[in-house]
Amino acid sequence: MQKIAITSEGPTLDDALDPRFGRAAGFIIADPRTLEFEYVDNGAGQALAQGAGIQAAENIVRAGAQILLTGYVGPKAFKALQAAGIKVAHNLDNMTVRQAVERYNRGQVEWAGAPNRMGHGR
């Protein structure tokens, strides 16, 4: 089963996608086919002065995700995600987590080749 991580403002598929990766409220870790999911809180990452993106990358790697759907990723987080083999789809915003998964399932996400936010994005 392939797992995807989606930055989320809350613990359900119908919560808003959080466009911030490192400082997202949390992550929905989902099977895109069945929509079975779990929520991973990112509260500790939000409190960090620096390194929130790297901590968030570690959280989704530990959860077993191979793909990330988000809005913005800074350079350090992007490097950590690449090193872990996580494929990143970015520039997602103004939608629910469920809508982001549906867009992924239709092949309508933009795959990142580089970070799209320069550090400390809040």
pLDDT number for residue 121: 45
What pLDDT, in 10s, does the model give residues 71-97?
999 999 999 999 999 999 999 999 999
CATH, residue 41: 3.30.420.130
Radius of gyration of the chain (CA): 12
Number of domains the chain contains = 1
Q: Helix, strand, coil shares of the chain as percentages rounded to 5?
A: 30, 25, 50
Whether 39 maps to a domain, the answer reads yes
Whether 120 maps to a domain, the answer reads no
Whether 101 maps to a domain, the answer reads yes
Whether 33 maps to a domain, the answer reads yes
The DSSP-derived string for 45-60 is: HHH-SS-HHHHHHHHH
Closest CA to 24 of 41, 36, 38: 41
Residue ranges, the chain, pLDDT below 50: 48, 120-122
Whether 118 maps to a domain, the answer reads no
Whether 119 maps to a domain, the answer reads no
Report the predicted TM-score, pTM, of the whole model to 2 decimal places.
0.90
Distances (CA, A) of 106 to 7, 9, 32, 43, 95: 19, 23, 11, 31, 15
Q: Which residues contact 3 (CB under 8 A, 6 or more apart)?
A: 29, 30, 31, 63, 64, 65, 66, 67
Whether 116 maps to a domain, the answer reads no
Whether 57 maps to a domain, the answer reads yes
The domain containing residue 54 runs over which residues?
Answer: 4-111
